[in-house]
Amino acid sequence: MKIAVIGGGPGGYVAALKAAMLGAEVTVIEKQRVGGTCLNVGCIPTKALLASSSMLMNIKEAKSFGINIDGDVTADFSSIMGRKEKVVSQLIAGIEFLFDKRGVQLINGFGKLVDKNTIEVTKEDGSIEMVNADKIILANGSAPVIPPMFPYDGNVVISSDEVLGLKELPESMLIVGGGVIGSEIGQFFRALGTEVTIVEMFDQLLPNEDKDVAKQLQRQFKKDKIKVITGVGVQTCEIVDGKAVATLQNGKQIISQYALVAVGRKPNLANSGVEELGIKTERGKIVVNENLETSVEGIYAIGDIINTPMLAHVASKEGMIAVENALGKSKTVSYAAVPRCVYTEPEVAGVGKTEKQLEAEGIEYKKGQFDFRALGKAQAIGHIQGFIKILADKDDKIVGAAIVGPHGTDLLTELSLAVELGLTVEQVGDVIHAHPSLSEGIMEALHDVHDQCVHAAPQTVKA
């Protein structure tokens, strides 16, 4: 069985490796470096930069831990960016190594569907190569959305692609969009000294999360001296004398060295051959059935080009499932427990339903919550901001959770497992959690669902 994959991102390269492991002859077509947005200009480089800014902040706070550091502590921006590139390059080399060991052929070029079994690959030198396959998996990925009012030039008005490749530390930056990308990048640059303003048209940062979650992050941004403007959008933007001049809908004007547009992403389907081949789409995304197969038999689609959460871990899961189905199985992806992670300080993580979703759907629920400041481990490490929140339905099943605080993205896995398996508050709450640990907060929040948390004051004080 010959399988061809268009796109070498976290969906495409995982699909290719899985297909090779299952005995298929595999070809991956990627126009740039393998790893896609996630590895090259997204998840990994952003986390590498945040690791540097976190180290800087830890050093600056060392005195409160009894550690005296003599001399000035400064950030070397070029070295930080160099370390980021080293991390990225090492991971890319790792994928290429696995391709080699698994016998996956990598062709660098732009892949376009010709028919259900043929892909035309245009290489950088203009030459054309035709790739034939029994089954095709589309993993084209996505690109930043730039609304027409922004004079995007890649130099002053930039996207997330360019911001991670800046050569010098900006003096000032306007970030349009207070979602995951805007929040992470904004906090990184502010930690290094850039004057940062975030404008979010919705009434809170992280619009998809509950207000109490967003409030914690906005409180930290205030301490960081990041200016956050919510509930208003950008009316116009121009480049004047080499600076970005943005006028908000309320008439306020913001002048900055850079304007980063981080309002979302769109499927990368231009000139892909999808339309010509008659593959069904809705609102710019490819329509697939429960097996991730498109309207054209034998062609599958995964990741950011279909109507599922635009997250690397979702694309990877879809890649593995699509391959198994292409090879004759009939598997589906469960989206009930997709982790949502923001790597700011404090970290923000969520899984399953939010309170506002439950309320909108008219679902009766109970809530348990526990603050990190009440945990011995949190006090010991000096990170006490935030909380753990558990949401359960009327049958006591855990249907959602949110964590704002230290290592929240790592702690979330226990609750993701609970949501996916349909476990109850009682079942997970009965598990002994290590002491002292941050995971104790999960146990305490679970106990709080039934007002049985021994480390919380009673909701009503006895006379």
Residues involved in catalysis = 435
The answer to whether the beta carbons of residues 337 and 419 sit under 8 Å apart is yes
Q: Is 103 annotated as a binding residue?
A: no
Q: Which residues pair with 119 in a beta bridge?
A: 113, 131
Please name the residue ranges forming H helices in 160-286. Answer: 160-163, 180-191, 211-223
Radius of gyration of the chain measured on its C-alpha atoms: 24
Question: Which H or E run includes 352?
Answer: strand 347-352
The number of CA neighbours under 13 Å toward the Cβ of 66 is 2
Where do the H-state alpha helices sit in 75-224? 77-102, 160-163, 180-191, 211-223
Annotated binding residue 311 = yes
E strand spans, 355-446: 365-371, 387-393, 398-405
Structure tokens at 126: 């203009």
Known binder of ligand: residue 76?
no
CB atoms within 10 A of CB 67: 10
Task: For residue 264, say whether it is annotated as part of any ligand binding site.
Answer: yes
**What residues have CB less than 8 Å from 39, skipping those under 6 apart?**
9, 10, 33, 45, 88, 91, 92, 95
Query: Is 376 known as a binding-site position?
Result: no
Question: Is residue 180 a known part of a binding site?
Answer: yes
141 is in an annotated binding site: no
Taking the C-alpha atoms of residue 400 and residue 95, their distance in angstroms, rounded to an integer, is: 34
Express the helix, strand and coil content of the chain in percent, nearest 5 each.
35, 25, 40
Alpha helices in 210-284 (DSSP H): 211-223
Are 46 and 184 contacting, i.e. CB atoms less than 8 angstroms apart? Answer: yes
Annotation-wise, does 81 bind a ligand?
no
Q: Is 310 annotated as a binding residue?
A: yes
Say how many residues make up the chain.
463
436 prior amide bond cis, ω within 30: yes
CB atoms within 10 A of CB 108: 15
Alpha helices in 291-367 (DSSP H): 312-326, 355-360
Cα–Cα distance, 145 to 34 (Å, whole number): 22
Evaluate whether 343 touches 45 at the Cβ level (below 8 Å): no
Residue 312 annotated in ligand binding: yes
Q: Is 455 annotated as a binding residue?
A: no
118-122 vs 105-108, strand pairing mode: unpaired
Q: Does the annotation place 440 within a ligand binding site?
A: no
CB neighbours of residue 429 within 10 Å: 24
231 φ/ψ sector (left φ>0, alpha ψ -120 to 50, else beta):
left
Q: Is 277 annotated as a binding residue?
A: no
* β-pair type (227-230, 253-256): unpaired
Annotated binding site for NAD(+): 177-184, 200, 264
Annotated binding site: 47, 111, 177-184, 200, 264, 304, 310-313
Annotated binding site for FAD: 47, 111, 304, 310-313
